[in-house]
């Protein structure tokens, strides 16, 4: 199976964390997001221990909530003492509702509004990751007006191309994010920032992209960042205390994808950084990494009920399900690969070739093309694997479809963490 929390039971039904998915579909309805909380906890612990062991004591993972965000999840993250990356007042508010200590939050985004900045300062968010000169001036002004000092990192674009999908590639000079090192803009901005009375510059941040299988691009990024830090130290006597290397480690979506060990990658990155720090004679800063996808993706599965099965003779077979791009827009946006299984007959041969279509009025509303699965019929349950990241968080109400419920599995027990939207929810902001 694509992940070791997926199996088949004696009834031939697919199980997730040992629980029968057909039973779950019956109990909670479909479409249904499932989240394996034990897996999330294991991944967080793997990152916490690898980062402090290989990148130095005090170094820490910041979970990127854009991958998956709901109140219950932040209760777990608070219990584990994780840092978090937040990108909106909505994410800050969700963490706050969970009782998360926001001094361990980093506030990202390339266009924080004045209201966002005021809110985040008033909630004592631990770090602002600043994206531009305009933003730095605005934070300084707002902080001054309420007599506060704000800790910031500056987001740099290191000019690295990690060769991932263009929509999730963010480290090159022309990126909409951050300030480029190569153009000299980063140095100019730091010089100005050091004069700001209400900002405390802690260091630098970069994020080169997402779904990156190799560790070498992360080493390249670390090289660019630390070499830049050395240059700034020599020129302005400012030494970065914190370096955030962003997120981006990949996740296998198909059996044929390379398996990846986050611990091994971080160990290799750590060795590279040790040598670099010596070469540059820099003291060791605190390092942060910001994994999103690699913490939650294989903790997730989506269940659908099959509606119509349409065979267009000589062309293709469509299997339509009761969800689609509204709960998972990733195939429509990036042609993202997924493993799809007929959960009702998971022990049968996967000998039927089909395109899995969603229910939205749009030809591009597909979950996946050309998948092999046991031939489905109306009312069978289909499982789409590895949907923990960027599915629920990117869901919409397109076609006024209510968002699915999200059920958490812990120790083989299921509980609702996010209720299914009702028709009333769909119209609740309408006047």
State the minimum distance, in angstroms, from the CB of residue 425 to ligand LLP: 24
224 is a site residue for ligand LLP (CB under 6 A) = no
Q: Which is nearer to ligand LLP, 21 or 336 (CB)?
A: 336
State the minimum distance, in angstroms, from the CB of residue 95 to ligand LLP: 15
**How far is 24 from 19, CA to CA, in rounded Å?**
8
Tokens of 285: 């800063």
Which residues, including other chains, have CB under 8 Å from residue 168's CB and lie 6 or more apart? 209, 210, 211, 334
The candidate with the shortest Cα–Cα distance to 383, out of 10, 118, 25, is: 25
Tokens of 226: 């630390």
Segment lying near ligand LLP (by CB under 6 A), choices 75-83, 217-225, 290-298, 358-366: 290-298
**Which one among 65, 126, 247, 270 touches ligand LLP, defined by CB under 6 A?**
247
- 42 CB-side CA count, 13 A: 12
State the minimum distance, in angstroms, from the CB of residue 249 to ligand LLP: 6
**How far is 183 from 234, CA to CA, in rounded Å?**
19
**What mask of x and - would describe binding to ligand LLP in positions 140 to 179, judged by CB under 6 A?**
----------------------------x-----------
Tokens of 16: 């997730």
Q: Which is nearer to ligand LLP, 43 or 66 (CB)?
A: 66
**How far is 49 from 339, CA to CA, in rounded Å?**
30
Interface with ligand LLP in residues 189-208 (CB under 6 A): 207
137 is catalytic: no
State the minimum distance, in angstroms, from the CB of residue 233 to ligand LLP: 24
Residue written as token pair 């004591």: 57
Helix (H, G, I), strand (E, B) or coil at 255: coil
In Å, the largest CA–CA distance within the chain is 72
Q: Are 13 and 20 in contact (CB under 8 A)?
A: yes
342 is a site residue for ligand LLP (CB under 6 A) = no
State the minimum distance, in angstroms, from the CB of residue 391 to ligand LLP: 8
Interface with ligand LLP in residues 46-105 (CB under 6 A): 64, 66-67, 85
- Catalytic residue positions, numbered: 361
Q: Which residues bind ligand LLP (CB under 6 A)?
A: 64, 66-67, 85, 108, 168, 207, 210, 246-248, 290-294, 330, 334, 389-390
């Amino acid at each position: 199976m694509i992940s070791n929390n997926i199996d088949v039971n004696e009834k031939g039904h697919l199980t997730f964390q040992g629980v029968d998915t057909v039973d779950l579909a019956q109990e909670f309805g479909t479409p249904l997001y499932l989240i394996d909380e034990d897996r999330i906890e294991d991944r967080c612990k793997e990152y916490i221990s690898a980062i402090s062991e290989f990148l130095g004591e005090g170094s820490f993972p910041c979970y990127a909530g854009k991958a998956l965000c709901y109140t219950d999840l932040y209760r777990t993250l608070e219990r584990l003492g994780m840092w978090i990356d937040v990108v909106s007042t909505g994410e800050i508010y969700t963490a706050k509702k969970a009782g998360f200590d926001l001094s361990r939050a980093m506030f990202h985004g390339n266009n924080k509004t004045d209201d966002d900045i005021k809110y985040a300062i008033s909630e004592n968010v631990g770090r602002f990751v600043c994206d531009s000169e305009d933003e730095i001036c605005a934070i300084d002004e707002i902080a001054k007006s309420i007599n506060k000092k704000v800790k910031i990192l500056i987001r740099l674009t290191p000019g690295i191309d990690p060769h991932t999908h263009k929509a999730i590639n963010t480290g090159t000079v022309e990126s909409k994010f951050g300030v480029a090192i190569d153009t000299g803009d980063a140095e100019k901005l730091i010089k100005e920032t050091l004069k700001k009375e209400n900002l405390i510059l802690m260091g630098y941040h970069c994020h080169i992209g997402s779904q990156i299988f190799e560790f070498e691009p992360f080493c390249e990024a670390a090289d660019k960042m630390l070499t830049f830090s050395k240059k700034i130290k020599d020129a302005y006597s400012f030494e970065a205390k914190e370096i955030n290397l962003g997120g981006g480690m990949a996740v296998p979506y198909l059996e044929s994808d390379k398996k990846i060990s986050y611990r091994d990658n971080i160990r290799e990155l750590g060795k590279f950084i040790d040598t670099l720090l010596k070469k540059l004679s820099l003291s060791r800063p605190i390092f942060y990494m910001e994994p999103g996808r690699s913490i939650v993706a294989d903790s997730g599965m989506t269940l659908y009920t099959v509606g119509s099965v349409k065979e267009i003779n000589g062309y293709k077979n469509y299997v339509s399900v009761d969800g689609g791009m509204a709960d998972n827009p990733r195939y429509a946006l990036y042609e993202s690969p997924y493993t799809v299984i007929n959960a009702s007959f998971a022990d049968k041969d996967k000998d039927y070739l089909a395109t899995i279509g969603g229910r939205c009025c749009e030809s591009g509303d597909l979950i996946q093309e050309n998948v092999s699965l046991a031939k489905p019929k109306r009312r069978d349950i289909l499982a789409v694997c590895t949907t923990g990241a960027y599915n629920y968080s990117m869901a919409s109400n397109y076609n006024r479809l209510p968002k699915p419920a999200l059920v958490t599995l812990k120790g083989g027990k299921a509980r609702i963490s996010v209720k299914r939207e009702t028709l009333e929810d769909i119209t609740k902001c309408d006047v």
